[in-house]
A and B are shown apart, each in its own frame.
Chain A
Amino acid sequence: MSANSESTYVPAEVVRVVVLEKHLHARPAGQLAQAAARHQPNTIELIAGDRRVNARSVLAVMGLGAVRGSEVRVIVAGADAVAVADEVVEILQSPETDT
């Protein structure tokens, strides 16, 4: 327990789970990689099946092979973890075309 009870609680890590309604296509993979770059030094990792990747690599995100119905675990670490995790979940859930 910290002696400083006034300090704002910052979670070390935020975990969210999303079940994909669409395949994780190239375009949302690009959006995830750009979000990862924009929100540095927060880190975004995605887990699907037995793969765990850093979202900063668009190719690694595509390599997850996360098809419709997959469970994707989102792990965000950093000072803005909650807001960043919200954004990641929104990208994963957004309806989009077939790219």
Chain B
Amino acid sequence: MVGIVLISHSSGLAEGTAELVGQIAGSTRVVPAGGTDDGRLGTSTDRIAAAIAVADTGDGVLLIPDLGSSVLSALALLADLDPLATGKQVLIADAPFVEGAVAAGVAAGSGLDLVAVARAAEEARDVRKL
């Protein structure tokens, strides 16, 4: 199953969103990576890297950042990954945080592959809620 890492400045936001995805999507591997190592608002590449390791079951990992430095940290990590050497497949979703996480979680729980899960997250940009 594709794993999902939710990257936020706020640990509360990442954890709450992961909880919501779990409610809607059932058994999925959604790992929050929010806040700094000492519990402040911010992003930590160490926490994101650790979350990727937990989320990865061999079918790839989708990173969903909220905004700002979450996106930059995700990009920096991705640039450092060597997919050929590590065998890790990681993508970043350009998607709204909560809606993208829910759509990706449902897609991952359905057994779709990494590209399809990323597409599901990105389709969230165009779906109206009203």
- The 26 listed contacts between A and B (C-beta, < 8 Å) are A26-B20, A27-B23, A27-B24, A30-B24, A30-B25, A30-B26, A30-B102, A30-B105, A30-B109, A33-B106, A33-B110, A34-B109, A34-B110, A38-B111, A57-B103, A57-B120, A58-B102, A58-B103, A58-B106, A59-B123, A59-B124, A59-B127, A60-B127, A62-B129, A63-B127, A99-B24
Which residues of A have CB within 8 Å of B120? 57
* B contact residues vs A (CB 8 Å cutoff): 20, 23-26, 99, 102-103, 105-107, 109-112, 120, 123-124, 127-130
Q: Are the CB atoms of A59 and B24 closer together than 8 Å?
A: no
Complex Cα spacing A4 to B39, Å: 71
Which residues of A have CB within 8 Å of B128? 63
Q: Name A's interface SS.
A: helix
CB distance from B104 to the nearest CB of A (A): 10
Interface centre among A26, A27, A30 (most CB of B within 10 A): A30
Which residues of A have CB within 8 Å of B99? 59
Interface residues on chain A, number (Cβ under 8 Å): 16
A66 within 8 A of partner (CB): no
Contact of A37 (CB < 8 Å), options: B105, B107, B129: B107
CB distance from A29 to the nearest CB of B (A): 7
Within A36-69, which residues are at the interface with B (CB < 8 Å)? 37-38, 57-60, 62-63, 65
